[in-house]
Structure formats: C-alpha cells, structure tokens
C-alpha cells in the first residue's frame, strides 16, 4: 500500500477492537505453569489410573480452576499468546512451536508435537496441522510487512504421517500479493527433510473498522 491507512482509519491497528498483542512479561511462574499444563494435557489423554486417582486428580484440577477463576481477563490482556519466548507464544491452544525466525521472505520455526496431539497410531491428528499452518500464515503476513489480515481459505495436503516427540521444521512464505489479498504457502518437514504436509491459503487484509 502506498497510503498510510491510519489517515482514514485512526483505529487501524485494532480494527474496531482487534486485540493488540503486545509482548507480556508474566514472570517465570507462567512458564512453569505452561510446562506443567502441557504435560497434564498429555496425561489427560494417556493416563489410565484407578478410579480413586481420577477423583483425586479432579479435586486438584477443580482447586486450580477456583484459584485462577477470579483472574479471568479479556482477550489480549492475559499473557497467553503474548510471550514469544515460550512454546506456542505462551498459548496452550497453539502447537508448541519454538525458535521462530522471521525474515523478509517469510518465517521458519521448530515444532514438536506430543501425545496430546495424537489422532491414532502415534501420528499427529490431521486436524492439528491446519491450526499450525494457520499460525504460520499469520506470521508470514507479519514478516513480510502486510497489514493485519484474516484467513480466507486454507488447504492442506498430507504427504506423510507426522510423528510426535520429534523436532520438525515448518516454513511459510508469501507467493503473491494482489491488493488486499496475500496468497501464502507453508510446509512441514522432518529432520531428514521429508515433506510431511504442505498448505496454501489466502490471507485478506481487514477493512477499516473490520474486526
């Protein structure tokens, strides 16, 4: 774009209420909390204790909910998704990506899936990969200097089984830009450079005031 969008839309950066995800510094306790929660997610889908242990676990989780419930905050206020130094930027929703490397062409990052992400037979659930690729697409938009955009469509081709407990590399780049539209690509590879999955999609720049 050649014109400064702030001249016609003073609220451009928020687009009528889009959260401003400024970097958060919640302290080391939040990192410990996320690590424990990710392990708890793994155990929630893999543990097989006796009934009494499930009751005790439920008691502890309910106590945790009671502890945090008074501090519920609006989107963009809590530290989740605002701590780049933590896996998944500090969001349990995001696959635990790390080592994000932005460049003028796009982004590279490392991701390691765990038992929580299994769909069956120790393979990552197919529905998890679009979530990863959608996150990569957003990073590409930021890396290449495009305005805030939302996903218009996302298509995934699955080439090989995606393993858990393995450091994988995801890469994303912009293929073409046409006005408000940015056509983006991404791929996921294993340590032997085998292509596990690839995606292409459309990111559309938000209009003035559009959330």
Query: What CA–CA distances, in Å, run from 182 to 33, 108, 115, 133?
Result: 37, 18, 34, 15
Rounded to the nearest integer, the mean pLDDT of the chain is 91
- The pLDDT, as a whole number, for residue 74 is 87
Q: What share of the chain is helix, strand, coil (3-state, %, to 5)?
A: 30, 30, 40
Q: What is the CATH number of domain 5-205?
A: 3.10.129.10
Taking the C-alpha atoms of residue 124 and residue 188, their distance in angstroms, rounded to an integer, is 12
Residue 2: pLDDT over 50: no
pLDDT band at 136 (very low <50, low <70, confident <90, very high): very high
Domain boundaries, the chain: 5-205
- The pLDDT, as a whole number, for residue 165 is 96
Name the helix (H) or strand (E) containing 133: helix 128-143
What's this model's pTM, rounded to 2 decimal places?
Answer: 0.88
Taking the C-alpha atoms of residue 120 and residue 94, their distance in angstroms, rounded to an integer, is 20
- Record the tokens describing residue 160, joined without a space: 């090989």
């Amino acid at each position: 774009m050649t014109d400064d969008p702030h001249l016609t839309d003073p609220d451009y950066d928020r687009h009528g209420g889009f959260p401003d995800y400024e970097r958060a510094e919640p302290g080391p306790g939040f990192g410990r909390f996320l690590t424990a929660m990710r392990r708890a997610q793994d155990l929630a889908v893999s543990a097989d204790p006796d009934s009494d242990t499930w009751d005790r676990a439920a008691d502890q989780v309910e106590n945790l909910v009671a502890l945090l419930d008074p501090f519920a905050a609006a989107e963009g206020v809590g530290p989740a998704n605002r701590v780049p130094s933590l896996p998944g930027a500090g969001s349990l929703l995001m696959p635990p990506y790390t080592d994000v490397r932005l460049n003028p062409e796009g982004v590279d990052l490392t991701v390691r899936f765990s038992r929580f992400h299994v769909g069956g037979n120790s393979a990552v659930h197919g529905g998890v990969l679009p979530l990863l690729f959608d996150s990569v697409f957003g990073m590409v938009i930021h890396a290449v200097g495009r305005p805030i955009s939302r996903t218009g469509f996302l298509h995934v081709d699955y080439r090989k089984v995606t393993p858990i407990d393995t450091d994988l590399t995801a890469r994303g780049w912009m293929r073409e830009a046409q006005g408000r539209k940015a056509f983006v690509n991404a791929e996921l590879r294993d340590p032997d450079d085998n292509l596990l999955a690839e995606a292409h999609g459309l990111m559309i720049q938000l209009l003035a005031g559009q959330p």
